[in-house]
Amino acid sequence: MPAHKRILLKLSGEALMGDDAYGINRATIVRMVQEIQDVTRLGVEVAVVIGGGNIFRGVAGGAVGMDRATADYMGMLATVMNSLALADTMRQEGMTARVMSAIAIEQVVEPYVRPKALQYLEEGKVVIFAAGTGNPFFTTDTAAALRGAEIGAEIVLKATKVDGVYTADPKKDPTATRYARISFDEAISKNLQVLDATAFALCRDQKLPIKVFSIFKPGALKRVVMGEDEGTLVHV
Ligand code: UDP
């Protein structure tokens, strides 16, 4: 039996990049989709928020003198591209997905409408939330926390390159150990980076647990959904 009925999965744009320096790697996106499909087959309702860092980040535009808000809108559009690629790959793999955008681009994707998103989830469709929160100066982590709270997800699954939250950076410190679980308050007091600060605060306020795990570890997403000891659970 899966441990969760409805989940919000946050994938960074980099999760689609594979070993490429930029953009979307075909084999990688297919693998991501298959990991998600394994979870939908358990009867779990899946919503996805995808980042855009593999294409464009607002801070990068800001760093070269662009107006930050404009650069952030470009970043949000990058997440729309990733969302379309993800939904299309899902279609090819025999899944049904719907992309809903926080920014109106009606000819391309339908707008985010909460009741409709809930309906799709109940119908067993994967819902991909594109364009982040729709506002500059935020991140897709915050979009994940926001949409997760809105749709009543039981947990936000933050897919990263590292398989959880560690006592220190495991790449630099070989004695670093993984927390199996940690409370929001402990994570704050130990200054551990789980999600960006706004997203973290929102989850904490809404008592929405977060699981940090590695999407690059085959089968990890399924083990997380089954409630097995995988990654780090951040709990209230
Ligand atoms: N972004 C934004 N508002 C949001 C979400 C995203 O302005 O609500 C922009 C921001 O510029 C960000 C970019 O979109 O850098 C891509 O999102 P993010 O950096 O979260 O992607 P990830 O790092 O997860 O790939």
The mean of the pLDDT values for the chain is: 96
- How is the beta sheet containing 110-111 ordered, strand by strand? 110-111, 97-101, 126-130, 45-50, 6-11, 155-160, 210-214, 232-235, 181-183
For 173-207, the pLDDT digits (tens) are 999 999 999 999 999 999 998 899 999 999 999 99
First CA to last CA distance, the chain = 23
Amino acid 217: pLDDT: 95
The reported pLDDT for the residue numbered 48 is 98
| 187 contacts 139 by C-beta, under 8 angstroms | no
- Give the residue carrying structure tokens 């904490």: 204
CB of 51 sitting under 6 A from ligand 1: yes
Q: Give pLDDT, residue 193.
A: 87
How many angstroms is it from 174 CA to the middle of ligand 1? Answer: 31
HEC profile of 54-111: CCCCHHHHHHCCCCHHHHHHHHHHHHHHHHHHHHHHHHHCCCCEEEEECCCCCCCCEE
Query: Which atom number of ligand 1 is nearest to the Cα of residue 12?
Result: 24
Domain ranges of the chain: 6-235
- Across 141-160, average pLDDT: 98
Taking only Cα atoms into account, the Rg of the chain, rounded to an integer number of angstroms, comes to 17
3-class DSSP state for residue 46? strand
Count of CB atoms within 10 A of residue 43's CB? 10
Topology at the third CATH level for domain 6-235 = Carbamate kinase (3.40.1160)
Cα–chain-centroid distance for residue 221?
A: 12
Retrieve residue 207's tokens.
Answer: 């008592």
Note the ipTM here.
Answer: 0.98
- pTM for the complete prediction? 0.97
Q: Does residue 235 surpass a pLDDT of 90? A: yes
Would you say the CB of residue 53 lies under 6 angstroms from ligand 1?
A: yes
Distance, CA 57 to ligand 1 centroid (Å)? 6
160 CB within 6 A, ligand 1: no
